[in-house]
Amino acid sequence: MPTLCRPHVAVPEHVVTAEETLDLARTLHAGHPQLELALRLIANTGVRTRHTLQSLEATLKHPGFEERNLLYEKEAKVRLPQVIETALGHAELTAPDIDMIIYVSCTGFMMPSMTAWLINSMGFRPETRQLPISQLGCAAGGAAVNRAHDFCTAYPQRNVLIVACEFCSLLYQPTDLGVGSLLSNGLFGDAMAAVVVRGQGGHGMRLEHNASHLVPDTEEWISYAVRDTGFHFQLDKRVPATMGVLAPAMRSMAAPHGWDIANLDFYLVHAGGPRILDDLGRHLDLPAQTFRHSRSTLTERGNIASAVIFDALDRLFAEGGTPHGGQGLIAGFGPGITAEMALGRWAAPHQLGSAAAEALASGPAPRTCPPLTVVGGRA
């Protein structure tokens, strides 16, 4: 059964505090007719610190979309290899053991994808499959987990590397003065993450079921306007209300498998903002402590888009995980509005079955599976 191993998450060195964000908003938008509302919304995000690729002074400058995208590519190539190597180490694998790379990012564009550069630069085999995901925004981390799950279910001896790279600060648009844009300027942070899904062996979250759900007629609620100056993030105030639809969707996903979505041992949920977590907890009748890992990510790093669920997962690992066999949920929410959800059980390393423990100790299984031609089946 596929196992989502421990991720590695890294953030850039520049730190922006909540106080700096609020002071900056007061300075830059002193005459804004809705400044007090924007300040209140920013303060209510619960974000205390965020990390940015550049200094605050450099972030506020807009040198043009081309220069920003070149910076995205340059910095990703410099920073990602170490993140990936650490994640491979957590999974006790090396680059040649990987059969597919899923790269998720919505804050920069490359073609060929970053996957091609990684294969050429880090020792991955030329046969490694590539799956770039660029238009699912914050939901892309969950989608990557689910596509890796599907792949490893079809080919149980294969392994997938997921890489998330989100430099949200490169999307700052000084001319966007709507309240939603001002809120976004105080919410999003930069981060990179990598994690391996092992087809066999490993410890972490054993993936059992996955599902997607699209909330009808919400395409414009989270979106990009693509203009000469780059990507302009657009956020509708109705977004938090979608938990009233997505909570029942989670119940519907879990029920056929005999799982009670409101009675799991761990929850790793995208932290789009505190209202999302509060409403989800209310609809599922769960205490606030349930989403402590997601809340910690939001507080310390802001909304880091597709990397949020991996940061929350890393915090669960740091906490020691759950008892062996504990049931859990991973859920990412993003444009569409789309939810990508996965259910699984915690596999503690010291309680793995003998076959699994042996596989973990000896590394990847022999590659005796058939050629990858048609992928069928679903967990």
Domain of 262, CATH number, reads: 3.40.47.10
Residues 262 and 287 in one domain: yes
Query: At a CB cut-off of 8 Å and minimum separation 6, what does 44 contact?
Result: 274
Q: Is 138 a catalytic residue?
A: yes
Same domain, 285 and 313: yes
Residues 10 and 152 occupy one common structural domain: yes
More confident: 300 or 363 = 300
pLDDT score of 304 more than 60: yes
- The answer to the question of residue 78 being in a domain is yes
Instruction: Give, rounded to a whole angstrom, the gap between the first and last alpha carbons of the chain.
Output: 10
360 in a domain, yes or no? no
Confidence (pLDDT) at 372: 39
* CA pair distance 298, 268, nearest whole angstrom: 12
For residues 183 and 65, membership in a common domain is answered with yes
Residue 172 lies in a domain: yes
> Domain span at residue 93?
3-202
Phi, psi of 104 (to 5 degrees): -120, 135
Same domain for 186 and 328: no
The domain total for the chain is 2
- Please check whether residues 9 and 123 belong to one and the same domain: yes
Average pLDDT of the chain to the nearest whole number: 91
Q: Verify that 187 and 217 share a domain, yes or no.
A: no
pLDDT tens-digit map of 197-252: 999 999 999 999 999 999 999 999 988 889 999 999 888 888 878 999 999 999 99
Residues 134 and 249 in one domain: no
The verdict on residue 32 lying in a domain is yes
Percent of the chain with pLDDT over 90: 82
- Single out the catalytic residue among 106, 138, 165, 168: 138
Are 144 and 74 members of one domain?
A: yes
Q: Does residue 63 share a domain with residue 174? A: yes
d(CA 271, CA 341): 14
Instruction: Check whether 67 has a pLDDT greater than 70.
Output: yes
Same domain, 188 and 225: no
What is the dihedral angle through the alpha carbons of 82, 86, 89, 95, rounded to the nearest 10 degrees?
-40
Same domain? 198 vs 211:
no
**pLDDT higher than 90, residue 272:** no
